[in-house]
Amino acid sequence: MKIAIPSIARALLLGVALSQVPLVDGLAQGTCPPGMPPGVFCGERNIAHATAGTYALDPDHSAVLVRVSHVGYSYSVFRFDRLSGTLVWNPDAVARSTLSAQVVTESITSNVKGFASQLAGDQFLNAPRFPEVTFVSTAFRQTDATSGKVDGNLTLMGKTAPVTFDVTLVGAGKGFGGQPRLGVHASTWIKPQDFGMPAMFSEPMEIVIDGEFTRNP
């Protein structure tokens, strides 16, 4: 029986090569799932594709979540649905990049029926008096090819305190409609008392942000 050694070798080499391709959510970088319309480019976890420019936060593909201890039993998760932001990205001098973001306080949601309106009311976040939560960066610190820290000032309920977000690049690329995109995952912890929250919120809260940005033309 004759064995086609060259064919086997090529197959093995191909398998080894494919095994070295980094995966993002089960897909090889640079590939899109079948059926995507023409002109839509999937993002890659490659900072080189995050081109310089001013980016606007895409509120339809972004989320701000807050994880709050539920009296020591679990974490309740609240989501803010209305947000905006501007990122000025400078890949040649990352430290010179800037970020500002705003969240509409009354847009908070909860799985508990009727609780969101209470949270936005005078007893908790007092949205009529403090309609926005804001963040303004003071420093960008890159730690590796796809991660970094963003320092800044968080203003909540009229009080401002410094916070540091741990940030990871999710993907960047050509986007679609002629506008490049980039997306990040960020998180930090805050002390509720730093912002004058009620005593019942005694344990640190986690803020989790998944943000997708579109570069301005």
> Mean pLDDT, 10 residues at a time, over the chain (217 residues)?
40 36 40 85 94 97 96 95 97 97 98 95 95 98 96 97 98 92 98 90 95 96
State pTM to two decimals.
Answer: 0.83
DSSP state of 211: E
Statement: 43-215 belongs to CATH 2.40.128.110: yes
> For position 127, what pLDDT does the model report?
97
The secondary structure element, H or E, covering residue 19 is helix 5-19
Q: What is the pLDDT of residues 53-99, one digit of tens each?
A: 999 999 999 999 999 999 899 999 999 999 999 999 999 999 999 99
Would you tell me how many other CB atoms lie within 10 Å of the CB of residue 98?
17
Q: What percent of the chain has pLDDT over 70?
A: 86
Pick from 92, 56, 82, 30: which is nearest to 179 by CA?
56
Would you tell me how many other CB atoms lie within 10 Å of the CB of residue 65?
14
